[in-house]
Amino acid sequence: MHPILVDIGPFTVYTYGFFVAAAFLVGMAVSMREAKRLGLPHKIVPDLGFYLILSAVVGARLLYVLLAPKYFLAHPLEIVQFWKGGLVFLGGALAAAGTTIWFLRRREQPIWSWADAIAPGLTLGQAVGRLGCLAAGCCFGKECTLPWAITFTDPKSLAPLHQALHPTQIYHVLAGVAVYFLLLGTKRWQPKPGMRFAIYIMGYAVLRFVIELFRGDFRGHLGPLSTTQWIAAALVILGIWLYRQRRNS
């Protein structure tokens, strides 16, 4: 059976920044709602959001650069050109996590309660941000013959042109939405602060590990797995440990 190809044409890098900005706005809106529901001072979310945006972009770009050090040593000016694509979510997440802990400690806030409040916004914001990846053509998939394959036709796209590819950007969107609804469905079942955040870590990491199998862009490899898959596997272990630790605290 021949695939039904969905052509991605002029919808490219010009809308990348829009979706990245929309992702942060959605994430902050959901986080404010969850913080208010948990009785936390939700008005500090915009301040936290400012630091998260800065640290997430820097961290996401830094990990991308570290995956291809030879190229960026030869083209150092491209290190800061993140608007051309090249943001690794896990790098941004790690940087944002450190920044969040620093910010909340300065404000003398309960870190685990805030982690539970922020988790739904993170995953839904991530889903929106992946539409930016689709727009730019980054994070593209391997070639395939599936009915839902997509092709990129605009010369400005970062993906290979006129090839039937796995729509991995859409896989990421669906994964983010799935984890978001998982968190909504379990919000009343987690009596200890931090347990909901642990579910977010595990859910995201498992789905990310699977989606990596269909990615066609350069990921960096350590043995049989991509660099991102090793990080995702470590996050699954961390999530399991954190869930048990918070449950027994």
Q: Annotate 119-141 with DSSP letters as a single string.
A: HHHHHHHHHHHHHHHHHHT-S-B
- Reported as a single tens digit per residue, the pLDDT across 157-177 is 888 988 999 999 999 999 999
Fill in the amino acid letter for 19: F
Whether residue 144 contacts residue 166, with contact meaning beta carbons closer than 8 Å, is answered with yes
Nearest alpha-carbon partner for 46 in 22, 29, 60, 23: 29
Whether residue 120 contacts residue 36, with contact meaning beta carbons closer than 8 Å, is answered with no
Q: Is 245 within the bounds of a domain?
A: no
- Reported as a single tens digit per residue, the pLDDT across 182-235 is 998 887 776 789 999 999 999 999 999 999 999 998 777 777 888 889 989 999
Q: Is 234 within the bounds of a domain?
A: no
CA torsion through residues 69, 59, 138, 75, sign? negative
pLDDT at 56 over 60: yes
Nearest alpha-carbon partner for 68 in 184, 224, 187, 226: 226
Phi, psi torsion values for 25, nearest 5 degrees: -65, -45
- Total domain count, the chain: 1
Whether residue 196 contacts residue 243, with contact meaning beta carbons closer than 8 Å, is answered with no
Q: Write b or e for each residue in 98-118: b if 16 or more Cβ atoms lie within 10 A of its Cβ, otherwise e.
A: ebbeebbeeeebeebbbbbbb
Q: Is 244 within the bounds of a domain?
A: no
The two beta strands, 150-152 and 225-226, are: unpaired
Is residue 130 part of an annotated ligand binding site?
A: yes
Output the pLDDT for position 197.
Answer: 93
Q: Is 107 within the bounds of a domain?
A: yes
Query: DSSP class of residue 161?
Result: B
Q: Is 195 within the bounds of a domain?
A: no
CA distance 137 to 144: 16
Helix (H, G, I), strand (E, B) or coil at 225: strand
| Average pLDDT score, the chain | 86
pLDDT at 1 over 50: no
Which domain, by its residues, includes 99?
6-186
Q: Is 215 within the bounds of a domain?
A: no
